[in-house]
Amino acid sequence: MTSHIIPVTGTELSPILSPLAADILTASVSLLRWVEEYGSPLHLVLPPELNANVEALRRVLDDREVAHAIYYGSKVNKSSGLMQAALGAGAGIDVSSVYELRDAVKLGAQGSDIVATGPAKTAQFHDELVRIGALICVDSPEELTDISMRLPNDGVKQPVLLRLQPKGHEKSRFGMAADKVRACLSRVAADDRFRFDGIHFHLSGYRWQDRAVAFEEAVKLVEEARAIGLSPKMIDIGGGLPVQYVSEAAWEEHLQRQSADDFRTGNVPASFYPYGGPQSAAAWLACFLGAPLSSGQTIDDYLRRHELTLAMEPGRSLVDQAAISAFRITRVKDLGNGNGVIFVEGSSFSACETWFASEFMVDPILLRQNDRARAGEPFRAYIAGHSCLDEDVLSNRWLGFPQVPEAGDLLVWANTGGYQMDLLENEFHRHPMPKRLCVTKSAAGDLSIYPDN
């Protein structure tokens, strides 16, 4: 039987789909069969999309002749297939735990491919980073002391970045104010076991303008480091590059007209990720590079003239379009007056924004299991998971359907690769962890799958 793709209406926040994601949905019989075989929810990982995202950023940097180091922020997804794709694309890996480090090394990453930016590194983590000569981002004077106690005296210098807490960001628990960075610079200069590679910072939010201000503060510290005999070669701006999940027009229209009545809770979340922002990650990067410094130079001018590498650790933006998640409908409960709740086989732990007290503001796609005609009136529902927790809700928003969906139909969320599909997943109620499959497309147009393990 042939299935039909039915857009969910009511909010009209339809996802932007990559050609590969669209192909998977068009081959809906295959998707239904995969869910039947591997269970629900089923995460489909699309490694070629990560490669394309790396190349899009690299083109911007190459066009401006800016030396660069792109590290994939692997914390956004547990997929080994995506980590492998990053290495295959010539990117490095940003690791925030000893377990991410070990996975990267198993996949062939060398020390020069790895940067460790997490602020709470254990002694074991430090030991394994030092052993392979990975670049360590030092979050505090205390961490610098911890590392120095573990360095061998074999003449091999340990590369480090010092993490700046830029002015105006004093409430952050990450990084050091400029005066503490200066104190660390003096300590590094006096210890020939260290190699000082540069300054790192990472800001919350998604404004390139804020990064440009922080970059200027980092520039001053780089110049001070050179004045005391150090040879920094890098300024690292962290991540926070945007992703466009839905069209800007649809997003702005939705924000203007949404109300408490759009949510079954009667409350609009206080904040949302900017799902339909005005810029792609590549456009954002171009704006950042063109931002003027107080000297009159643009950022890209400064980097070229001073022979500095621009480093970054994009996470979400590198997995843009790199995963979709399919949930099978278990049953539909009628709440009266044309409203209902759709229960899916799976939980909100596998596709949600509850960790930000928010919502994943992208409409799912209804994939019918058959093409037979269905009678019925338009139907409005929210989406609930299969656990016994009343808060286990994938969408508190009321979503519109042309008719009542049926058990066995699929709800597919697009673009779940960035922090969505596995951040909170667990074996609650002893349900097994959802399966992940990598999907690729041959030159002949055939889709193939393999385990993402």
Cis peptide before 41 (omega within 30 of 0): yes
Q: Is residue 10's pLDDT more than 70?
A: no
Cα(232)–Cα(196) distance, rounded to whole angstroms? 6
Are the beta carbons of 194 and 262 closer than 8 angstroms?
no
pLDDT for res 7 = 62
Burial 362-396 (b: 16+ CB within 10 A, else e): bbbbbbbbeeeeeeeeebbbbbbbbeeeeebbbbb
The 10s digit of each residue's pLDDT in 287-324 is 999 999 999 999 999 999 999 999 999 999 999 999 99
Strand partners, 310: 68, 235
**CB atoms < 10 A from the CB of 69, how many?**
20
With residue 343 as reference, give the H or E element that holds it: strand 339-345
| pLDDT for the residue 350 | 87
Other residues' Cβ atoms within 10 Å of the Cβ of residue 271: 10
- Given a cut of 70, whether residue 125 has pLDDT beyond it is yes
Comparing C-alpha atoms, which of 332, 450, 386 is closest to residue 46? 450
pLDDT for 356 equals 74
Closest CA to 305 of 67, 61, 60: 67
Supply 350's token pair: 């596998």
- Strands 68-73, 309-312: pairing is parallel
Q: Are strands 68-73 and 42-45 parallel, antiparallel or unpaired?
A: unpaired
Look at residue 438 and tell me whether its pLDDT is greater than 80.
yes
Category of 26 on φ-ψ map: left (φ > 0), alpha (ψ -120 to 50) or beta: alpha
Burial class (CB in 10 A: 0-12, 13-18, 19+), 439: buried
Distance, CA of 20 to CA of 447 (rounded, Å): 9
Confidence of residue 1 (pLDDT cuts 50, 70, 90): very low
The vertex-186 CA angle with 182 and 191, nearest 5°, equals 145
pLDDT at 89 over 70: yes
Q: What is the mean pLDDT of residues 263-281?
A: 94
pTM for this entry: 0.95
DSSP H helical ranges for 228-319: 248-257, 281-289, 299-305
With cut-offs at 50, 70 and 90, classify the pLDDT of residue 351: confident
pLDDT in tens, 393-412: 999 999 999 889 999 999 99
* Dist. CA 191–CA 75, nearest whole Å: 32
